[in-house]
């Protein structure tokens, strides 16, 4: 579960990405030069990359905390599998 400060940060970053997407739509409808459109697309990708990194970090922290707090092997195995899946997803997108 996200902490309120992290949630607010992520919501803000999603709003930033939405703003860039709205700008892209307007630029395409207004027949802006493709260079300007590409610049906005890069801004969206950067915003989504920051969101992705923060969500991944939160998931890592949650799994590590669960492993440290619980001595049950089955739960730890599940958390380790989550970490492996997260790592695989992270390396595939970077």
Per domain, the residue ranges of the chain are 4-93
pLDDT, tens digit (0-9, with 9 covering 90-100), for 46-60: 989 889 888 888 888
State the pLDDT confidence band at 62, using cuts at 50, 70 and 90: confident
Burial 13-36 (b: 16+ CB within 10 A, else e): beebbeebeebbeebeeeeeeeee
- Residue 67's Cβ-count burial label (10 Å; 0-12, 13-18, 19+) is middle
Tell how many helices (H) and how many strands (E) occur in the chain: 3, 0
Cβ atoms 13, 51 nearer than 8 A: yes
Q: Which CATH architecture has domain 4-93?
A: Up-down Bundle (1.20)
Q: Which of the four pLDDT bands, split at 50, 70 and 90, describes residue 44?
A: very high
Question: What average pLDDT does the structure give for the chain?
Answer: 85
């Amino acid at each position: 579960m996200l902490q309120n400060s992290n949630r607010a940060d992520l919501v803000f970053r999603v709003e930033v990405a939405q703003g860039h997407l709205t700008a892209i739509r307007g630029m395409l409808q207004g027949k802006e030069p493709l260079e300007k459109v590409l610049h906005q697309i890069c801004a969206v990708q950067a915003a989504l990359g920051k969101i992705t990194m923060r969500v991944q970090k939160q998931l890592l922290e949650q799994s590590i905390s669960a492993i440290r707090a619980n001595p049950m092997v089955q739960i730890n195995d599940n958390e380790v599998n989550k970490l492996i899946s997260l790592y695989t997803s992270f390396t595939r997108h970077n």
